[in-house]
Amino acid sequence: MTTRYKMTLAYDGHLFHGFQSQPNQRTVQGTIEAALKKMTKGQDVSIEGSGRTDSGVHALGQVIHFDYPGTRIPPERMIRALNSIMPLDIVFKKCEIVDESFHVRYSAKGKWYRYHVSLDRFVDPFKRFYTGHYPYPVNLEKMQQAATDLIGTHDFTSFAASGGQIKNKVRTMYYVNIQKDEQGNEIVFDFICSGFLYNMVRILVATLLEIGNGKRPVDDLPRVIAAKDREQVRETAQANGLFLYHVFYEDIPKKYRLDKD
């Protein structure tokens, strides 16, 4: 008898070699599975993540599920037990017992990624692991205008790094927001999409920054999307600035459905 747990967690990605287990590397999955093995006194428990964040990428709202063997542990106790044996760079925030039909990947209706970019010539030392860096002039309005071309259902092949195994690259972008945080002299990008392809957010951010900097015309994105050609865009923003912010298992709230305006 096993019990399926759905857990929401945050992690600081800068000391992990990404989410997915790899031999001889410190990974989020490996760290959590080792903790679960301790709790079960030796039984292996594998976890599934909503997505595999890359090396250096952070999470504020990653979601995992796993089937815990033996006696059912109440959610509040499961959180405490795991947090007590976790290293300090992973913290579980929410725990629910779910039906076996629930699956973190297949049940997800969308994901929200956030990306921070510092415009300072020299990055605030406290942000150095948590922000991308673009010390060049950028025009916010141009990026905001260009971003509207991303909304809706498109084949995002041009924005997918090779290495992904998924063939169907059609996704629905529900929401894009680009804001300047004056105090921090940084730009914050938010993307909510039905699903993201490999490196998609980082490629989108790099392309939008090129538009903001005047290296590409404001109306370039429809052309790039139509080309379905990764060679149309070259840059990938660094992993540091990327946060998996939230995974939606409910319908995407109306205020984030710019595709239905």
Annotated active-site positions, please? 54
Query: Is 137 a residue that touches a copy of itself (CB under 8 A)?
Result: no
Element (H, E) at 35: helix 28-39
Interaction between residue 130 and a copy of itself (CB under 8 A): yes
Task: By CB under 8 A, tell whether 76 contacts a copy of itself.
Answer: no
Least distance in Å: CB of 213 to a copy of itself? 21
- Within residues 90-109, the interface with a copy of itself by CB under 8 A covers 90-92
Closest separation in Å from C-beta 109 to a copy of itself: 26
Nearer to a copy of itself, 36 or 147 (CB): 36
Q: Quick one: which segment of 125-133, 194-202, 214-222, 253-261 binds a copy of itself (CB under 8 A)?
A: 125-133
Per CB under 8 A, 161 contacts a copy of itself? no
Cα pseudo-dihedral 143, 145, 148, 150, rounded to 10: -40
> Distance between CA atoms of 36 and 25, rounded to whole angstroms?
18
Locus of tokens 């509207």: 148
Cα 194–148–175 angle (5° rounding)?
A: 35
Q: For a copy of itself, which stretch binds (CB under 8 A), given 103-111, 121-129, 145-153, 181-189?
A: 121-129
Footprint of a copy of itself on 2-61 (CB under 8 A):
10-12, 58
Two structure tokens written together for 168: 């169907």
Is residue 130 a known part of a binding site?
Answer: no
Nearest to a copy of itself of 211, 247 (CB atom) = 247
* Interface with a copy of itself (CB under 8 A), residue from 67, 89, 96, 220: 89
- Residue that is written with structure tokens 């070259």 in the block: 234
Whether 148 contacts 225, CB under 8 Å: no
Any alpha helices (H) in 92-171, and if so which ranges?
A: 140-147
The contacts of residue 150 (CB under 8 Å, 6+ apart) are 173, 176, 204, 221, 225
Q: How many CA atoms lie within 13 A of 78 on its CB side?
A: 26
Q: Note whether 184 binds a copy of itself by CB under 8 A.
A: no
Query: According to the binding rule CB under 8 A, does residue 174 interact with a copy of itself?
Result: no
Alpha-helix residue ranges (DSSP H) falling in the chain = 28-39, 75-85, 140-147, 200-212, 221-227
Binding site listing: 113
- Which residues of the chain form contacts with a copy of itself (CB under 8 A)? 10-12, 58, 80, 83, 88-92, 121-126, 128, 130
